Chains A and B, each alone.
Chain A
Amino acid sequence: MNASIDPQLTIWAWEIPLYLFLGGLAAGILFFAGLYTILGKEKEFPSAIEKTPMVVPFLLVIGLLALFADLNHKMYFWRLYTTIRLESPMSWGAWVLMVVTPVSFIWAAIHLKKSFPKWKWPYVWLDTTEAFFITHKKILAWIMVIYSLILGIYTGILFSAFNARPLWNTSILGPLFLTSGLSTGAALNIIMAKSQHERHSFSKIDLMLIGIELFLIIHIFMGFLASTQVQIDAARLFLGGPYTAPFWILVVFFGMILPGILEFLELRNYKIPVLIPALLVIAGGLLFRFIWTFAGQASRWLY
């Protein structure tokens, strides 16, 4: 009996799903910040561009620490950066993080004075660096939009590349994780938004993303049920199996449908604290990653 392999694979515990959630959330926040900067909507979406991205460096650092905690041969982690292996999603994911993380720090740094007006850089060269990046903000925004999309979709592709785990081995997972990441990003923007216009804009975006997520989830299960026995068995983990209640009740209903209804009613001017649907979406996104990580390891080929 090999520990964490037999009788069932449990090699990935909390670290991987936590990272996938934080990576997706970070991708969502950076995407909207970059997009609205490129579109020149700084005045309409000040929170999404200047305030919310302040949390991204923290999210990514916590995510990277979780990834590091997951490694069993920790002192060799630098080996990730002595090679680029395009066949391995984990390899190019590591390199994408190498780009996204510093960019998120730069973005937070050049907007620091908006949140903390009395902030002063201790060295002159930091002021000149800040000025340099502010003049090249549009380029940064483009990098953010492109790389956040790659980051968001890669979290799903990482899983879908494992043919040995039938639940993960579906190309829908990339778009689904990306949509979920964008949705959690939009939800955080709803919380951070100061103006009703910005809040309502993100509510509408989030409603659309929730709709896409539900469509993709139905699509993923349709695909499984029309596939081979191993994928039918994988789907059954969620259709009568042990993950049925947590997934459909907690993730789909409380994490997507209910917040969708609440956001819709709020847009119709019902008095609903937006914190509730936004937090539900974020919690649903986190739980979704955990359930999919654990259920995937329970799904396997039988022979």
Chain B
Amino acid sequence: MRYAMAVDTKKCVGCSDCVVACQTENNVPIGYCRDWIVEVVDGTYPQLELELRSERCNHCDNAPCVRCCPTGASHILEGGFVMVTPEKCIGCGACITSCPYDARYPHPDGYVDKCTFCMHRVKKGQLPACVATCPTKCMYFGDLDDPASDVSLVLKTRKHKTLIPEAGTKPQLYFLI
């Protein structure tokens, strides 16, 4: 089992519904977010290209945050969920520093917080809150080991990329381009 997410940059309109859905679902403290929108403008006027990406933790296969955690609070669960156990986290910031995607933040309660791929929902057979909420249905989630899953099917047919694969993290958040 290997859960992954794909975001269609051609369909995303950057409305931030995914951000708000996540904040609501996961009780994210005010002023913080686990997912966010990135707008990249490329080219020279009038030949401009805009890419919109809903970004979050990449739930990397080779996660530097898990490697550098001194207490084992950061860990990977079956299915590839990169998680933090608040009762083990000392809030040293090593994982925050180690993430090339800046996907983690210090929760005001002291521990480090991040996207969980909404594991609590996935375990119940539901989609992550961001995916379920997206009004343009630009996000796909599922098991890469299941060839019939939404994410497997879309990655089979669409051209896609991951963010800075050269950082060696083996990210599992795909962007359809």
Contact = CB atoms under 8 A, between A and B. Distances in A.
Given A88-B69, A164-B167, A4 B106 contact: yes
A2 B110 CA distance: 14
Contacts of A80: 70-71, 90
Interface string A137-150: 00000000000000
A35 to B, nearest CB: 30
A270 interface: no
A74 B110 contact: yes
Contact of A90 (B64, B68, B88): B68
A165 B97 contact: yes
Give the interface size bracket for B toward A.
Answer: 35 or more
Contacts of A89: 68
B91 A74 contact: yes
A2 B30 CA distance: 10
Nearest to B106: A72
A76 B88 CA distance: 7
A82 interface: yes
Interface string B90-122: 111110111110101110011110000000000
A286 B64 CA distance: 28
Interface string B40-55: 0000000000000000
Contacts of A74: 90-91, 110
Interface string A68-108: 00111111110110110101111101100000000000000
Contacts of A83: 70-72
Nearest to A158: B94
Nearest to B94: A90
A155 to B, nearest CB: 14
Interface string B109-147: 111100000000000000000000000000000000000
A71 B73 CA distance: 14
A73 B97 contact: no
Interface residues of A, number: 39
Provide the main secondary structure of the chain A interface. loop
Interface stretch (A6-14, A119-127, A275-283): A6-14
A2 B22 CA distance: 14
A297 interface: yes
B64 to A, nearest CB: 6
B93 A76 contact: no
B164 A162 contact: no
A106 B43 CA distance: 65
Interface in A242-269: none
Given A73-B110, A76-B88, A85-B69, A164 B97 contact: yes
B2 interface: no
Contact of A72 (B31, B68, B91, B99): B91
The 8 closest A-B pairs by CB, nearest first: A72-B91, A73-B110, A73-B91, A2-B105, A91-B70, A164-B100, A90-B70, A79-B71
Interface of B: 31-33, 64, 67-73, 86-94, 96-100, 102, 104-106, 109-112, 163-164, 166-168
21 contacts: A2-B32, A3-B32, A6-B102, A9-B96, A9-B97, A11-B97, A72-B110, A73-B110, A73-B111, A76-B71, A76-B87, A77-B90, A80-B71, A83-B72, A85-B72, A87-B67, A87-B68, A90-B94, A162-B97, A163-B167, A300-B102
